[in-house]
Structure 1
Amino acid sequence: MNKETEETVDKIISILKQDNEELKEFPSIMLPLILTTYKETDLLAVEKKYNIRIPKSHRDFIERYSPERFHIMFTDIYGISSLEKELEDYIPDELLKEGYLPFAGSDGNYYCLSMESDDDRVYFFDHEEYNISRSGLTFGSFFKDLLSAKVDLDKKNSM
């Protein structure tokens, strides 16, 4: 993960730690879940259990921040345990078979990275259309867009 992406995610986490209002709407995503402990063996176990490869960008994110999950702008960002829960209960097998692994989701839709390469292009899975398309975002710009939307919303709400 590059420095700019780290700085962006650091800002998001800082905002989430201060902004308890958004977290109150989602009691299952509380502050202790933002930064949790991380064990590489947990990550490797999930890869083995589901026969997947966690892409480098998502792996770096998990190693650096170790979240269980966090929520910003109607989007859940997955750490290793929440990814495992999504794999177990929600992520369509076909998506994995096509080589895409979600790192975030919203209303049944997923933001994915390719498991077949380590580029950081983000793909969007639309559950209603049941198709995947390239979003035009990178892993870093995905977080920048979330941060920008959150900052804009906070400014609008404070007026």
Structure 2
Amino acid sequence: MQSLKYLSAYSDQTRAQVSLLIAQHKLADVLRKRYPAAHGIRTDRALYDYIQDLKSEFLRNAEPINKVAFDSKIHVIQHALGLHTAISRVQGSKLKAKHEIRVASMFKDVPLEFLRMIAVHELAHVKEKQHDKAFYKLCTYMEPNYHQYEFDLRLYLTELDLSGQRIW
């Protein structure tokens, strides 16, 4: 079985099924059939609006998100697809935090489900800092298919890694 670094946490049976799809050159076709088109969110402003809509629907009482942007410096190699940062500054006698969400530029050309999974993941970090049970519970509250989208994104990253070809 070939190295499936994005699927290392999955069962041997799952990795064997993926290896079979790869050997038959069908992984890209399976993903294209499941997700026929890429989304239309191309600008930082459109991404900001999209994430703000998600936040206002699911996290109304959370701290505001001050900046959202696609970032070409984020790479899968760094084990990051998106980043949530809180920058603290002293203003008078108060400590103010500004929240920023950055999404890897590669997500400009993927299905909306993948972008949503990344957005939900980064929004969940506003409330839950660690990747623990509460964090994933919040992710699945905001997107019930979160785990399926994450798995499919890992399949896409595997295909991209092996072929070097984008699907969408």
TM, length-normalised to structure 2: 0.30
* Structure with more of its chain in strand, by fraction: 1
